Amino acid sequence: MKKQEIIICRNFKEEFAQALKSHHYDKLFILTDEHTHIQCLPLLENMDMECIKNAVRINVGPEDIHKNLETLAYVWSQLSEKGGTRRSLLVNLGGGMITDLGGFAAATFKRGISCINVPTTLLSMVDAAVGGKTGINFNDLKNEIGSFYPADQVLINGEFLKTLDQRNLLSGYAEMLKHGLISNVSHWAELLAFDLNHINYDELQELAGKSVEVKETIVEKDPTEQSIRKALNFGHTIGHAFESFSLHGNHPILHGYAVAWGMVCELYLSHLHAGFPKDKLHQTVRFIKDNYGRLDFTCDDYETLYNYMKHDKKNSASGIINFTLLGDVGDIRINQTASQEEIYELLDFYSETMG
């Protein structure tokens, strides 16, 4: 798998222009959703570059509910009808939905065209846009269809963070907290200490840069998730079940919130299976409860959630649910399993602790 160039922008205009120049493309396409078309595309258009003026705009519906086969087919049709070839270049300007969807469209159109990710949310900067995973939701299952297809460049520009509301900042911050938990105590502690109610954007960009470094280091060791990259799945087995549960109920939740709530459950399972320290468990759970609230479900929903977990693509065998757990902050235990009884127990823990 080709290696991505991650660019932490100091001068976005110059660095974006340089990224475009590195490609010998015949036609430029820019993919946005309805939010980034209004809030973020003008930043590119104001650069007064001829290639931007001539670019084909593709605009789709926002949020994860549109990360589906129908929207993907629309992107394919626009690429085809507007003259896209194997030498065309697609710029994915948006959050994780756009970089996931656009990356998969680029991977499959004409058997693969080049793409650049310009993430506009904190979540996409530290997670979705980095590492090469692309895909769509299918049959109410999160990221059920996809591929590994890294963008050639990922440009991380902190100015976009100022366009985000609190919920979308928190969604991205959950992935940063995950990176802290799988890296080291000092990074985990500084993330818990950051004031999310009074955002210092310079400090946030610095923390985001550290978060990207954690993910980059892991992905470089294991690009296609055969071993240590599974560390990045911490919180996601149950988090994805929460997302699928919400999608099926037609009340989609932000990915980072699902991961935050998934980490509550998987930290408890880590305590049971791997001895994750109780004090760090409660510190992290308190931070998540204070900032993310809770997902409402009852014991009547346990079987539904359990069945979603059984469909998780990370499982190595039918009916066996795979987890990444932690013995401590930075002590990663991949390829862990749990019984149905234990999964119901951790859902009990979630309901009692987060209520």
pTM metric for this prediction: 0.87
Same fold, 5-163 and 166-354: no
Around Cβ 318, how many Cβ atoms within 10 Å? 7
pLDDT for 252 equals 87
The 10s digit of each residue's pLDDT in 299-324 is 999 999 999 999 876 776 667 899 99
CATH class held by domain 5-163? alpha beta
| Rg of the chain over all Cα atoms, to the nearest angstrom | 20
pLDDT for 1 equals 66
Tokens of residue 193, six digits: 């200490």
Domain boundaries, the chain: 5-163, 166-354
Tokens of residue 31, six digits: 């993919």
Going by C-beta distance under 8 Å and a sequence separation of 6 or more, which residues neighbour residue 29?
Answer: 55, 56, 57, 58, 78, 79, 82, 84, 88, 89, 90, 91
The 10s digit of each residue's pLDDT in 182-215 is 999 999 999 999 999 999 998 998 899 899 999 9
Which residues in the chain show pLDDT less than 70?
1, 313, 316-318
Around Cβ 111, how many Cβ atoms within 10 Å? 7
Q: Which amino acid is at 60?
A: V
Question: Could you tell me the fold of the domain covering 166-354?
Answer: Dehydroquinate synthase-like, alpha domain (1.20.1090)
How many residues would you count in the chain? Answer: 355
